[in-house]
Chain A
C-alpha cells in the first residue's frame, strides 16, 4: 500500500510541476497576444494554436490530479447514502470501470497519433502535429494508472474490517 501511495504522490508532483509551468506560460502568452494585437496590430500567427494546445495539455494534467484527488465530476447522489463498507466496494468497481475506459481511450489515441505521424502532418511552421497531440495518449495513460491506483486503495480499505472507505 505504501509503495502504491508513494508512486501516486510522485506522479502527482511531476504532473503538478509541469502543470504549473504550462499555466504560467499560458498566462503570459495569452496576455502578450492581446497586447500585441491591440497595440502593435498583430499577434504571433501561431500563438493562438499554441495557446489552444496548452489548454489541452493543462486540461489533461488537471484531469490526472482530479483522478488521484477523487475530484472528477460524478453523480454521487446515491452513493452518498451507502454505508461505509459497501461504498468502498462500489468505489472500487467504478475505479476499475474508469481505468478500463481510460485504457481504451489510450489505445484509440495511439491509433490516432500513429496516423498523424505516418502522414507527416504539420501543426505550424516545422512543428509536426504529434508534438501537440502527444498529451492525449500520455494523459489517458496516466489516467489509467491513477484509476488503477485508486481501485487498489479502495479495495484495500473495503477489505479492512470496520473502517469506513
Chain B
C-alpha cells in the first residue's frame, strides 16, 4: 500500500514541474531500495548506457541539426524549394512543409523548427496573401512534421529503448512520412487555389542559382538515406559522417558559423538538449529494468487481454492512449515510460515492433498539436504572439488530417514494412 502512496507523491511532484530525470531517479531509487537492493544498482543500470552503440548518434545528429538551424541553411533551402515549386498554386505552403520536415528530422522536434523556420516562413505566407488562420496552422503543424524521417532523434531513442534496429526504423518511417506530407500538401494546394495566391513563374536560371547556393546542404538527406539503405554504414556511423560534414560545410565552406563566437554557443545549446535526454535515459534504464524484473508488462498484458481480444480494437485503444500521453509529455520522456510497457503487449497482439514504432511516433507527433498542452501550440503562441485559442482553432483541420493518416499507418502495416523487407532482402 505504501508503494502507491509514494508513487502518488512522486507523480504530484512531477506535475509541479520537477525535472523528469529526478522523478524517474526517485522512483528507481525507491523501488530498488524497497526490494532490498543497494541504491547503487541504479547507477549500474545507468552505466549500461556505455554498452549501447547507437548512443553516439544522439549527440552527433543533434549537433549537426543545431549547426544547420543556426546557419543560413534554412534561408538557402527555402529559396531552392521556392524556385522549384513556387509556380504551383499553393507552392509556398509546400515549401513550408518540405523545409520544416527537413529541419525537424535533423533537430528532433525540439521546437527548434518553429523558432528558427517559423519566423522566416510565416511572414512569407502572409505576404503572399495566404489566409492568416491557415498560415498559422500550417507553420504550427509543420513544427513536428519531419519526425518520421531519418535521422530523427525520437526514432533513435525509440530504437534504443525497444531494442530494434535503428537502421530499419529509419527506412520504415520514410513512406508513412511522405504520405503525411502529401496529404497536408494536397490540402494546402487546395487552400492556395481558393485564396488565389500569386504564383511565381518558373525560371530555370533561378532554380540553377538557388541550387548552386545550397549545393553543399542539399545532398545531406540523400547521403544519410542512401548510405544506410545501401548498407554502407550503420545509423551510428552515418551520424559521425553527417556531423563532420555539416561542421566542415557550415564553418569552413559557407562560414556561416564563426569559430570563436557562434560555434561554442551552438555546441553548448545542442548538448544541453542532449544532456536533458541522456539524463532521463540513464535513470530510466534502471526503472525499466525493475518493471521488467517484476513482470509488470506481463501483468498489464493479462489485464488488457481480459478486456480486449482483437488486434483491431487494441490498436484503436492504443492510439487513443498514446495521443493523451503525447499531450502530457514530451516525446522523449513518453518513449522512456510508455514503450517498455506497451511493447510486450503489442508483440502478443502480433504487431511488429518496427510498425509499432511508426505508430508510436506518429501519435506523439499529433500530441504536439493537441490542446490543451501540446508543445507546438505554446511555441507558436509565443513566437507569433497570438492567443492560444486562436492557434488551436487554426490547427484543428491539420489535426483531423493527421488523424486520418494515423489510421492508415495503423491499419496498413505494409506501408511501414515493405521498404524494410525490400532493403533486408538485398
Known: A30-B243, A77-B328, A112-B44. A91 touches B39 (CB 8 A): no
Quick check: A105 and B25 within 8 Å, CB to CB? yes
Quick check: A33 and B240 within 8 Å, CB to CB? yes
Count residues of B near A (Cβ-Cβ below 8 Å): 64
Nearest residue, chain B, Cβ from A143: B279
A37 cross-chain contacts in B, Cβ below 8 A: 237
Q: How far is the CB of B391 from chain A (nearest CB, A)?
A: 15
Quick check: A51 and B271 within 8 Å, CB to CB? no
Quick check: A79 and B16 within 8 Å, CB to CB? yes
Docked Cα-Cα span, A83 to B157, in Å, equals 35
Quick check: A27 and B272 within 8 Å, CB to CB? no
Q: How far is the CB of B130 from chain A (nearest CB, A)?
A: 30
Known: A30-B60, A31-B240. A73 touches B330 (CB 8 A): yes
B223 cross-chain contacts in A, Cβ below 8 A: none
Quick check: A90 and B50 within 8 Å, CB to CB? no
Q: How far is the CB of B20 from chain A (nearest CB, A)?
A: 5
Docked Cα-Cα span, A104 to B29, in Å, equals 8
B15 cross-chain contacts in A, Cβ below 8 A: 75, 77-78
B72 cross-chain contacts in A, Cβ below 8 A: none
B243 cross-chain contacts in A, Cβ below 8 A: 27, 30-31
> Which residue of B275, B329, B332 has the most chain A CB atoms within 10 A of its CB atom?
B275
Q: How far is the CB of B26 from chain A (nearest CB, A)?
A: 5
Whether a CB of chain A sits under 8 angstroms from the CB of B254 is no
The listed residue (A20, A53, A67, A115) touching B267 by CB distance below 8 A is A20
Q: Is the interface of B mostly helix, strand, loop or mixed?
A: helix
The listed residue (B40, B49, B280) touching A56 by CB distance below 8 A is B49
Q: How far is the CB of B202 from chain A (nearest CB, A)?
A: 39
Count residues of A near B (Cβ-Cβ below 8 Å): 61
> Which residue of A23, A65, A72, A101 has the most chain B CB atoms within 10 A of its CB atom?
A101
Known: A52-B50, A69-B272. A34 touches B267 (CB 8 A): no
Quick check: B264 and A16 within 8 Å, CB to CB? yes
Nearest residue, chain A, Cβ from B331: A73
> Which residue of B43, B52, B274 has the most chain A CB atoms within 10 A of its CB atom?
B43
Q: Using an 8 Å CB-CB cutoff, how does the interface string of A96-121 with B read, 1 for contact, 0 for none? A: 01100110110111011001000000
Known: A98-B19, A102-B22. A51 touches B56 (CB 8 A): yes
Docked Cα-Cα span, A98 to B278, in Å, equals 16
Whether a CB of chain A sits under 8 angstroms from the CB of B206 is no
Quick check: B20 and A74 within 8 Å, CB to CB? yes
Nearest residue, chain B, Cβ from A109: B43
Whether a CB of chain A sits under 8 angstroms from the CB of B219 is no
Q: Using an 8 Å CB-CB cutoff, how does the interface string of B271-307 with A read, 1 for contact, 0 for none? A: 1111111111011000000000000000000000000
The listed residue (A31, A34, A66, A109) touching B276 by CB distance below 8 A is A66
B29 cross-chain contacts in A, Cβ below 8 A: 101, 104-105, 108
Docked Cα-Cα span, A67 to B276, in Å, equals 9
A91 cross-chain contacts in B, Cβ below 8 A: 17
Quick check: A65 and B272 within 8 Å, CB to CB? yes
Nearest residue, chain B, Cβ from A107: B39
Docked Cα-Cα span, A93 to B16, in Å, equals 9
Quick check: B279 and A19 within 8 Å, CB to CB? no
Q: Using an 8 Å CB-CB cutoff, how does the interface string of B3-28 with A read, 1 for contact, 0 for none? A: 00000000001111111111001100
B241 cross-chain contacts in A, Cβ below 8 A: 31, 34
Known: A72-B20, A94-B13, A97-B22. A23 touches B278 (CB 8 A): no
B240 cross-chain contacts in A, Cβ below 8 A: 27, 30-31, 33-34
Quick check: A136 and B19 within 8 Å, CB to CB? no
Quick check: A77 and B20 within 8 Å, CB to CB? no
Docked Cα-Cα span, A49 to B50, in Å, equals 7
Enumerate 20 A-B pairs (CB-CB under 8 Å) in ascending A order: A26-B56, A30-B239, A31-B240, A31-B243, A34-B241, A37-B237, A52-B50, A52-B56, A59-B277, A59-B282, A63-B276, A75-B15, A75-B329, A79-B17, A91-B17, A94-B13, A101-B22, A111-B39, A112-B44, A136-B46
- 5 further A-B contacts with Cβ under 8 Å, apart from A77-B328, A97-B13, are A19-B267, A55-B56, A62-B274, A65-B272, A74-B20
Q: Report A's interface with B, CB cutoff 8 A.
A: 16, 19-20, 23, 26-28, 30-31, 33-34, 37-38, 48-49, 51-53, 55-56, 58-67, 69, 71-80, 90-91, 93-95, 97-98, 101-102, 104-105, 107-109, 111-112, 115, 132-133, 136
